[in-house]
Amino acid sequence: MNDLPSKDWINYIDHEPKTYTNHRKFSLLDPYASPQDREIMTHGWFVETMPDLNQRNPFLKKYLIQNSIWWIEYAELYGIRQDTYSYPFREFMTDWTCAIQNEYPGFNIVGEEWVDDQGIIAYWQKGKVNQDGYTSCLRSLMDFPMNFLLAKSMKEEEAWGKGLVRLYEFLGKDYHYANPMDLVLLADNHDMSRIWEQLGYDYDLFKMSMIYLMTTRGIPQIFYGTEILMDHPGTDSHGMIRSDFPGGWKGDTKNGFTGEGLSAQQKDAQQFLKQLLNWRKNEKTIHYGKLMHFEPQKGAYVYFRYDKEKTIMLVLYKGDEDMNLSTDRFERFLGDATSLRNIQTQKETNISQGIPLNAKSGHIFEVIK
């Protein structure tokens, strides 16, 4: 900072007080936005301690691209999570992502765009045809619109426009995206309350949330510690949210690796997620199959993942009492079926008289024909 390569290496370096971003991300898409609003959004400093690089400078641009490629090669990286994706100069971000993808076609970059707006998320994805002609090489983005809905949909009482129907209507807006299957799904991360706390420590809702995360469209991301129900009671400080995973440090009274000191519920959650993840790891129908869902009724949200080889039925049921789910609406997928196999218990259920569901439960069934 005391010996910059050029006077225009940093945006607004001569301004006192410094010019900070207005965080108006929508101005980048807004056909009526003033040039001033757009400029301050991308060229203003994020905070006082983060000088904003001017990627319009051709030497800085080349340096940043070469530096990224060097680190990928040197550290043998498989992917990059790019923070605050929309804040830099957007034409540079296209050049940066395209250069990396041209060098490493199998490499993945996921962009963080923390907004509850599918239109803004979609704008940055590769393949999106934008009205202003902007093009991108960014294959994947974090699905924050889904993240904002997950805990709310689980905790709310089922009613018109509330509860599980939020997830149903949310997926119905995937028309915004060039490829919704490439979005990264998250229940929580290092910048927010952990999902266990968001759900009010309701274990049934936790398991349903994990089933949804692992079986809907997209690429699931699990924040470390979720598998042992890590939380941060009484505080939302980032230091507590990012606490060490227990068991690797001298003096730890709990050990998430051996199970020592964990509660019975924590051990059960770890085993539940372990089984779910190991099943998903080899399930191509979940990775690449199509998705069809049905309007939630009587507290039950049903969707199917399917391809030519297999059909998987997912059921999220929030009712407080056991229910027998009628199969009439699902004739398209269950018409020739004789039974369902529960992938968690491996038990088969004859569905001629409906599908029995326990209160507040999530189910993954393989359709047997």
Q: Which of 30, 83, 91, 116 does the annotation list as catalytic?
A: 83
Among residues of the chain, what percentage have pLDDT more than 90?
93
- pLDDT at 134 exceeding the cut of 90: yes
Q: Is 179:125 a contact under the CB 8 Å cutoff?
A: yes
φ, ψ dihedrals at 120, nearest 5°:
-70, -45
pLDDT of residue 210: 98
- pLDDT at 246 exceeding the cut of 90: yes
- Rounded-to-integer distance, Cα 98 and Cα 126, Å: 10
Please report how many Cα atoms fall inside a 13 Å half-sphere around the Cα of residue 15, on the Cβ side: 15
Among residues of the chain, what percentage have pLDDT more than 70?
100
Q: Which of 37, 39, 95, 112 does the annotation list as catalytic?
A: 112
| pLDDT tens sequence across 82-120 | 999 999 999 999 999 999 999 999 999 999 999 999 999
DSSP run (H or E) holding 220? strand 219-221
- pLDDT at 233 exceeding the cut of 80: no
| pLDDT tens sequence across 304-343 | 999 999 999 999 999 999 999 999 999 999 998 989 999 9
Min mean pLDDT across 16-25, 41-50, 148-157, 360-369 is at 16-25
For the question of residue 83 being annotated catalytic, the response is yes
- pLDDT at 235 exceeding the cut of 90: no
- Rounded-to-integer distance, Cα 247 and Cα 236, Å: 23
| pLDDT tens sequence across 254-298 | 999 999 999 999 999 999 999 999 999 999 999 999 999 999 999
Confidence of residue 2 (pLDDT cuts 50, 70, 90): confident
| pLDDT tens sequence across 54-82 | 999 999 999 999 999 999 999 999 999 99
**Cβ neighbours of residue 84 under 8 Å, at least 6 residues apart?**
46, 112, 114
- pLDDT at 236 exceeding the cut of 90: no
Residue 136 is encoded by which pair of tokens? 């991108």
Question: Chain-wide mean pLDDT for the chain?
Answer: 95
| pLDDT tens sequence across 201-212 | 999 999 999 999
pLDDT of residue 226: 97
- pLDDT at 237 exceeding the cut of 90: no
Residue 43 is encoded by which pair of tokens? 């060229």
Which domains are seen in the chain, by residue range?
Answer: 58-228 (3.20.20.80), 288-368 (2.60.40.1180)
- Rounded-to-integer distance, Cα 28 and Cα 220, Å: 28
One-character DSSP codes across 235-261: ---HHHHTPPPTTSSTT-S--TTT-TT
| pLDDT tens sequence across 16-25 | 778 999 999 9
pLDDT of residue 332: 95
305, with CB counted inside 10 A (0-12, 13-18, 19+), is buried
pLDDT of residue 202: 98
- Rounded-to-integer distance, Cα 321 and Cα 359, Å: 5
- Rounded-to-integer distance, Cα 248 and Cα 140, Å: 32
CA distances from 49 to 17, 99, 298, 299 (A): 13, 29, 52, 49
pLDDT of residue 279: 97
Confidence of residue 182 (pLDDT cuts 50, 70, 90): very high
